[in-house]
């Protein structure tokens, strides 16, 4: 598998460049190229997940560096383990659904190939960040994905879109600056960028504590901004609704997790470990996001803004769970992040379909759409049930795991607050369902028609996955999630997981 690791970034990059080259000659080829590149990634990622692949590759492999203990190939370290495997799979699934959805959602217009260039760049950046074994490449790929997403947010180039993109760009740059500063501090203190080397240096105890804490704080703030945790969230409710629906799905379903949650999970254990202070900070951020997001969503009428605020809220759950510090908390957080990726992308795609059906994104302008657009409605309904945590959908299981993790970590108050926020989520999505799908059909919508199959099928597929990952939870899904959690936390709470990571990287190249 190691040989194939570079493909996770190379395939979308090549597809993106092909879109650019064929811009004039075959503008219609771009959507198909996107679907093809996503389908390839889906194949690769499923193969890796099913076979439980792990491995390290040094892309480039240019030259040999001597170190004290021996020598190994220098290059862009790409590390595949349980955690990156699961997120690669998530990126591929949501990416495929969004690419198929975009086929008929975006009219063939001037500049459509450029859209697909950015789309592929976004995926390449995320995959690169998921695989990167050193901080600098993590940063580079993160910037690739961020900048591509800024372009996609501004895609429709209306006033609102450009304003949203500007805010997103400025706050995104702030977060990137914080992350880069953190990397610099670490590099200055240790002389390493490779996370395995860094971990060895830090655990050796020779590194002073202040730069480590400074770096950890900068990472929490920087990746927290990418996660859109409160109070760093303000860009998200503008940016995510402004993008076209398939991009909203990619941003809310993937980007905030790959650049935010995944990066936090990957980097923090290496730098300082999840010590008490750090956990307190993450808990505070999580609590603020969880309740702030859900309360802000109450006052919204625009479906996409409701969804966007709920992304803030749901990331709060993930943070609170991860901040438990126990293996179960990490597993629950990862599971919830993956589930949120599935159901939130289904929700954003459905919001695009509903906008097409009803001609508006406002809930007050919808009603009774179940009769007009049954397939779209079924998709939205399933995704709503999933985010509300109704069994047997996956949202229920991750909610349950989070509550178990919080209670068994001795945080009953936090568990109560998380349950309260879950109730508010339920209340919001009950409102969404009843206002959009049930009740009287406005006279204006008498002629409303169902969207084409290429738009409702991806949503239904995602909802089926939500159902399957809920129903099959004991049979396979727990293995995927468990191995992902194993990659960053050990059941005994010790540093075993990080040590295993170091051994994997150092054993990966020729000594």
Residues 454-483 within binding reach of other proteins (CB under 8 A): 473-474, 478, 482
415 scored as a contact of other proteins (CB under 8 A) = yes
Name the minimum Å distance from CB 292 to other proteins: 6
343 scored as a contact of other proteins (CB under 8 A) = no
Among 12, 133, 224, 395, binds other proteins (CB under 8 A): 224
The nearer residue to other proteins, 18 or 385, going by C-beta atoms, is 385
Name the minimum Å distance from CB 126 to other proteins: 22
The nearer residue to other proteins, 44 or 384, going by C-beta atoms, is 384
382 scored as a contact of other proteins (CB under 8 A) = no
Retrieve residue 136's tokens: 């600098």
Q: What angle do CA 103, 125, 501 make, to 5 degrees?
A: 130
Name the minimum Å distance from CB 498 to other proteins: 20
Among 20, 213, 378, 467, binds other proteins (CB under 8 A): 213
Retrieve residue 242's tokens: 């402004």
Among 21, 50, 64, 430, binds other proteins (CB under 8 A): 430
Q: Answer whether 19's CB lies under 8 Å from 117's CB.
A: yes
The nearer residue to other proteins, 64 or 430, going by C-beta atoms, is 430
Name the minimum Å distance from CB 313 to other proteins: 12
User: Which region, left, alpha or beta, applies to residue 384 given φ > 0 means left and ψ of -120 to 50 means alpha?
Assistant: alpha
In whole angstroms, how large is the CA radius of gyration of the chain? 22
280 scored as a contact of other proteins (CB under 8 A) = yes
175 scored as a contact of other proteins (CB under 8 A) = yes
The nearer residue to other proteins, 251 or 414, going by C-beta atoms, is 414
Q: How far apart are CA 62 and CA 59, in angstroms?
A: 9
Angle between helices 135-153 and 112-131 (to 10 degrees): 160
The nearer residue to other proteins, 206 or 299, going by C-beta atoms, is 299
Instruction: Pick the piece of the chain touching other proteins (CB under 8 A) from 20-28, 253-261, 295-303, 448-456.
Output: 295-303
346 scored as a contact of other proteins (CB under 8 A) = no
Among 12, 125, 241, 292, binds other proteins (CB under 8 A): 292
216 scored as a contact of other proteins (CB under 8 A) = yes
385 scored as a contact of other proteins (CB under 8 A) = yes
DSSP tally for the chain: helices H, then strands E: 21, 4
442 scored as a contact of other proteins (CB under 8 A) = no
Retrieve residue 195's tokens: 């996370």
Q: How far apart are CA 144 and CA 65, in angstroms?
A: 28
Instruction: Pick the piece of the chain touching other proteins (CB under 8 A) from 59-67, 106-114, 257-265, 433-441.
Output: 433-441
- CB-side exposure of 310: number of CA atoms within 13 Å? 32
Instruction: Pick the piece of the chain touching other proteins (CB under 8 A) from 127-135, 191-199, 372-380, 403-411.
Output: 403-411
Helix, strand or coil, per DSSP, at residue 65: strand
Instruction: Pick the piece of the chain touching other proteins (CB under 8 A) from 26-34, 84-92, 272-280, 314-322.
Output: 272-280
436 scored as a contact of other proteins (CB under 8 A) = no
Among 49, 218, 254, 455, binds other proteins (CB under 8 A): 218
56 scored as a contact of other proteins (CB under 8 A) = no
Among 60, 70, 416, 507, binds other proteins (CB under 8 A): 416
Size of the chain, expressed as the number of residues it contains: 511
Q: Answer whether 417's CB lies under 8 Å from 319's CB.
A: no
320 scored as a contact of other proteins (CB under 8 A) = no
* Cis peptide preceding 2, ω within 30 of 0: no
Q: How far apart are CA 276 and CA 5, in angstroms?
A: 35
Among 221, 287, 448, 465, binds other proteins (CB under 8 A): 221
278 scored as a contact of other proteins (CB under 8 A) = yes
Distances (CA, A) of 32 to 20, 21, 38: 13, 14, 10
Q: Count of residues binding other proteins (CB under 8 A)?
A: 74
448 scored as a contact of other proteins (CB under 8 A) = no
* Cis peptide preceding 231, ω within 30 of 0: yes
Scored b (16 or more CB within 10 A) or e, 185-213 reads: bbbebbebbbbbbbbbbbeeeebeeebbb
Q: How far apart are CA 359 and CA 82, in angstroms?
A: 43
Distances (CA, A) of 330 to 114, 261, 319, 324, 333: 38, 11, 9, 7, 5
Q: Answer whether 428's CB lies under 8 Å from 310's CB.
A: yes
């Amino acid at each position: 598998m190691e040989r194939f690791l570079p493909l996770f970034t190379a395939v979308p990059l090549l597809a993106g460049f092909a879109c650019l080259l064929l811009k004039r000659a075959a503008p219609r080829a771009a959507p198909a190229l996107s679907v093809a590149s996503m389908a390839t990634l889906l194949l690769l990622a499923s193969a890796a997940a099913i076979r439980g692949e792990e491995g390290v590759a040094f892309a480039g492999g240019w030259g040999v560096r001597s170190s004290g203990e021996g020598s190994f190939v220098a290059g862009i370290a790409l590390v595949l383990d349980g955690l990156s495997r699961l997120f690669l799979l998530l990126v591929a699934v949501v990416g495929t659904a969004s690419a198929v959805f975009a086929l008929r959602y975006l009219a063939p217009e001037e500049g459509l190939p450029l859209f697909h260039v950015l789309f592929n760049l976004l995926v390449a950046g995320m995959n690169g960040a998921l695989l990167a074994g050193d901080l600098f490449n993590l940063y580079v790929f993160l910037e690739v994905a961020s900048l591509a997403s800024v372009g996609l947010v501004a895609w429709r180039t209306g006033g609102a879109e450009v304003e949203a993109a500007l805010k997103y760009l400025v706050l995104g740059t702030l977060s990137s600056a914080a992350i880069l500063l953190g990397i610099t501090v670490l590099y200055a203190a240790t002389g390493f960028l490779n996370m395995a080397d860094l971990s060895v240096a830090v655990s050796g105890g020779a590194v002073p504590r202040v730069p480590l804490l400074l770096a950890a704080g900068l990472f929490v703030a920087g990746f927290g901004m990418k996660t859109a945790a409160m109070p760093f969230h303000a860009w998200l409710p503008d940016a995510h609704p402004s993008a076209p629906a398939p991009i909203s799905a990619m941003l809310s379903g993937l980007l905030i997790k790959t650049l935010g949650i995944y990066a936090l999970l990957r980097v923090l254990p290496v730098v300082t470990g999840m010590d008490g202070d750090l956990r307190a900070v993450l808990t505070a951020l999580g609590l603020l996001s969880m309740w702030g997001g859900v309360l802000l969503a109450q006052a919204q009428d625009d479906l996409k803004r409701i969804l966007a605020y709920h992304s803030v809220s749901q990331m709060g759950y993930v943070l609170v769970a991860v901040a438990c510090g126990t293996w179960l908390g990490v597993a629950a957080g990862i599971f919830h992040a993956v589930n949120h990726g599935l159901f939130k992308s289904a929700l954003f795609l459905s919001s695009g379909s509903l906008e097409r059906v009803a001609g508006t994104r406002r809930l007050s302008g919808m009603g009774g759409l179940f009769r007009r657009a049954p397939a779209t409605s079924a998709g939205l309904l399933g995704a709503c049930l999933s985010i509300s945590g109704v069994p047997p959908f996956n949202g229920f299981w991750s909610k349950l795991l989070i509550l178990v993790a919080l209670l068994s970590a001795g945080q009953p108050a936090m568990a109560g607050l998380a349950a309260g926020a879950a109730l508010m989520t339920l209340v919001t999505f009950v409102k969404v369902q009843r206002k959009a799908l049930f009740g009287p059909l406005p006279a204006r919508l008498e002629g409303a028609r169902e969207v084409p199959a290429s738009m409702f099928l991806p949503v239904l597929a995602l909802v089926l996955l939500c159902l399957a990952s809920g129903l099959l939870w004991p049979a396979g899904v727990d293995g995927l999630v468990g191995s992902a959690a194993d990659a960053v936390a050990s059941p005994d709470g010790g540093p075993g997981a990080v040590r295993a990571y170091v051994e994997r990287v150092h054993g990966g190249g020729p000594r």
